[in-house]
Structure 1
């Protein structure tokens, strides 16, 4: 509900999903004590519903997916998106959905890791420097064939436990995480842009 350029982050995220042209309905899993507040913030959107989220991310995804399948029973693709990536471009949403529609059971947008990464011991001493050539930062939305997401939720949300290949597609720097006051300042500048 943090405001960004006059609207809560959640409204920006929902608008981005719906403007992609491939999303038929958005279900928002809100903290149980904020369902009314989130619903009010999204009242201007027609293809949106809000459900009380669960105790953790996996439970929230499971609840949202159940509600989405009630609204769109024939859905074959589900996207899981994070509100902290509220400025994700519509083209990235379409790219993920298209890759799932092309037969990939799970798809995630990624960016190459550009920072030097260090493995550090609990004592604070640097152990080594992993080669970042094959490292990627994950973004959202993450796309799934509905049956794969259902199986992943049943496996505790660990996609590796359902043994399906996860395709990566190029992410977008605009899909930045907005989690700190600095991130919010940058996002304000981008939106005002």
Structure 2
């Protein structure tokens, strides 16, 4: 993996698509509704995420993966000019559903978690600028600042892990569209029907060790470098109730 500094660019070429993954159940938030519908400062997480994407990538083809049988998230997506598609049982399967819905003219694709609804515009802009400059797989990251320790099978410490070589991964992750389609085909997350159209595969589980889209690149096309660029603390993922408090505070600070 390489690390490169790209300046943000307001110029986005035709052929940019964004898959916003919003099919999560949000069980840990405890609201009894899909996570992306949970309100932050009175607005659904998905709405805030889509507004952020639209500011950073005007004119992009935006696809939102939603839970099966959904109506609420689909309404939010449509109201913001995005195309809702039914996602899968896991995040990777939902991304595959989004890839199957890509237009034939898609050259680049960003994959973004709706739960990272506060990602600053400059981060998304920098990801696209890196793709436009010729990078094929781009991931925003942050240095790991906490002390990290290993643990054995008995729950005992095996010592402090050197954090200088560790990075926390964020989204949006950007890819050459055909590259991401190809690795999803190799992973068995996508297949082609008799007419050659892409179809998501209903799997019992994801391929082992696949935790994000960049890990598919590393597994199936190791010759393609995954380029790191600077992420942002405000790109945190809303997962637990405390994260909602933090998100409200960020929005209030931005409104000042």
With the shorter chain as reference, the TM-score category is: over 0.9
- Counterpart in the other structure of 1:171: 231
Report whether the alignment pairs 1:50 with 2:84: yes
Mapped partners of 1:23, 1:155: distance in 2: 30
Moved over 6 A (4+): none
- Structure 1: state its 5+ residue gaps: none
- Counterpart in the other structure of 2:249: 189
Deviation at 1:23, TM superposition (A): 5.3
2:78–2:84 CA contact under 8 A, matched in 1:
no
Report the 3-state secondary structure (helix = DSSP H, G, I; strand = E; otherwise coil) of the residue aligned with 1:118: strand
Question: Structure 1 length as normaliser, TM-score?
Answer: 0.92
2:64–2:77 CA contact under 8 A, matched in 1:
no
- Counterpart in the other structure of 1:37: 72
Report the 3-state secondary structure (helix = DSSP H, G, I; strand = E; otherwise coil) of the residue aligned with 1:43: helix
Mapped partners of 2:57, 2:121: distance in 1: 8
Deviation at 1:155, TM superposition (A): 3.2
Report whether the alignment pairs 1:3 with 2:25: no
Per-residue deviation, residues 115-160 of structure 1 (Å, max 9, x unmatched): 0111111311011211111110000000000111112212335221
Mapped partners of 2:59, 2:180: distance in 1: 17
Question: Structure 2 length as normaliser, TM-score?
Answer: 0.70
Q: How many residues align?
A: 188
Mapped partners of 2:50, 2:58: distance in 1: 13
Report the 3-state secondary structure (helix = DSSP H, G, I; strand = E; otherwise coil) of the residue aligned with 1:88: coil
Range that drifts further, 120-129 or 106-115: 120-129
Per-residue deviation, residues 69-128 of structure 1 (Å, max 9, x unmatched): 2xxx21211000001101001111111111111111100000000001111113110112
- Counterpart in the other structure of 1:162: 221
| Root mean square deviation of aligned Cα | 1.4
Report the 3-state secondary structure (helix = DSSP H, G, I; strand = E; otherwise coil) of the residue aligned with 2:98: helix
Match of 1:115 among 146, 154, 166: 146
1:30–1:53 CA contact under 8 A, matched in 2:
yes
Deviation at 1:41, TM superposition (A): 2.1
Match of 1:64 among 92, 98, 109: 98
1:99-114 equivalent positions in 2, closer than 5 A = 99-114=130-145
Deviation at 1:171, TM superposition (A): 0.4
Report the 3-state secondary structure (helix = DSSP H, G, I; strand = E; otherwise coil) of the residue aligned with 1:108: strand
Range that drifts further, 156-165 or 126-135: 156-165
